[in-house]
A and B are shown apart, each in its own frame.
Chain A
Amino acid sequence: MNSQCETVRNILVEHSGAKDRQDPVVDRHLEDCEGCRRFAAKEARLGDILEAASPPVDRPLQDRVVHAVLILEVRRRRLALVPVAASVLLVLAGVTVLGGVPAASMAAALPAWAGSGWPALAGMVMDFVGALRAVAVGLADMISGPVVLGAAMVVAAGVASMILVSKRWRRHALWSGRS
């Protein structure tokens, strides 16, 4: 065995007898070297044994994995609602304390078609935050500069949280749309 045998055998080990590998250097050497030919045959056989030693493809397991991931997605989507709701509340609370919410009278000024469905719900929400605002105005005397600053920070935190959540939400929404 010479140094070329060693190089060739390293290649043969790496490629399990080089069965599927076209390598002119290896092929040429194997033509002339009986020892490496025997080595290549044994490596190929060992490769076959090890290949057969792996259990076959398990379709039911694959289906279980994909199903489990889909279920996980649905759960995560539901859980993802929690930070969305919390973010919305944070923004509303902050804006209300800052006095930036339109008065409930604005909802009343909406045209008649707004009395049902989503516009009506929006009107109710605005009434609710209007009431909150009234409380805030009542407390206005007690609200000091630092409180206003704190409220502004709450709004900023709420907006940032909504941006973060919406990024995560995108994948959830896409997945749930297909499942």
Chain B
Amino acid sequence: MAANDRREDERLVTAALGGDEDAFAQLVRRYQRRLTAFLSQLVGDVELAKELTQEAFIRAWSALERYDPTYRFSTWLFRIGHNLGIDHLRRRRLKTVPIVREDRDGDEVEVVLVDQAKDPLGHLRNSELAGALREAIEALRPEYRELVLLRHFGGLSYQEIADLEAMPLGTVKNKLFRAQSVLRKELASFL
């Protein structure tokens, strides 16, 4: 994220803490799409992702006084959203028996059954591309998948991802480079 965006976030957070509700509404407008997109892919359900987005903003608002401005607001907000999504997945796993399959590396991966109405890629007109993209994302190893979701759906910069994942910047670069080559291979016919 550009330095200007970061400064604008800081200004909006300060204004919101000073009682300006328009400033908080602007933060919602800046991040809603990206946070919902990220959470939709993370939990595989766009309706649930909307609920989690709302919850994440409410929690961010409630904890705004405790927000440490040495970190980017985006990183902080996405951490809240990410934790909500992971908690949800954990609860769902406890309630249901996951269907698993083996990926190309022989690792077990959970098969996510997507309800058409809640499909995070349901808005794509090209259903063939949507199907290929879904498979390409599923083909990623979990450690790559999360980074890809944060980068391309959450729109976070490499540095923001490094901060959020508490990972060295070089590791983020390496993993995303490899993840991207998997995506290019999986989606070759569309490129």
Interface residues of A (CB under 8 A from B): 9-10, 13-14, 42-43, 45-47, 49-58, 61-62, 64-66, 68-70, 72, 170-171, 173-175, 177-179
CB-CB contacts below 8 Å: B1-53 with A = 17-21, 24-25, 28-29, 32-34, 36-37, 40, 46, 50, 53
Q: In the complex, what distance in Å separates the CA atom of A50 from the CA atom of B57?
A: 24
B84 within 8 A of A: no
Q: In the complex, what distance in Å separates the CA atom of A13 from the CA atom of B62?
A: 37
Known A65-B58, A69-B58, A72-B62; judge A52-B33 contact (CB<8 A). Answer: no
- Chain B window 44-76, contacts with chain A (Cβ cutoff 8 Å), 1 for yes, 0 for no: 001000100110011001100100000000000
Interface residues of B (CB under 8 A from A): 17-21, 24-25, 28-29, 32-34, 36-37, 40, 46, 50, 53-54, 57-58, 61-62, 65, 120-121, 123-124, 129-130, 133, 152-153, 155, 158, 173, 176-177, 180, 183-184, 187, 190-191
Closest to B151 in A: A50
Given A55-B40, A62-B29, A178-B19, 6 more A-B residue pairs with CB atoms under 8 Å apart are A46-B183, A46-B191, A54-B155, A69-B24, A72-B58, A170-B19
Residue in A43, A54, A170, A173 whose CB lies within 8 Å of B33: A54
**Can you pick out 8 interface pairs between chain A and chain B where the beta carbons lie within 8 Å of each other?**
A10-B177, A13-B180, A42-B191, A43-B180, A55-B40, A57-B33, A68-B58, A69-B57
* CB of B180, distance to nearest CB on chain A (Å): 5
Q: In the complex, what distance in Å separates the CA atom of A175 from the CA atom of B152?
A: 35
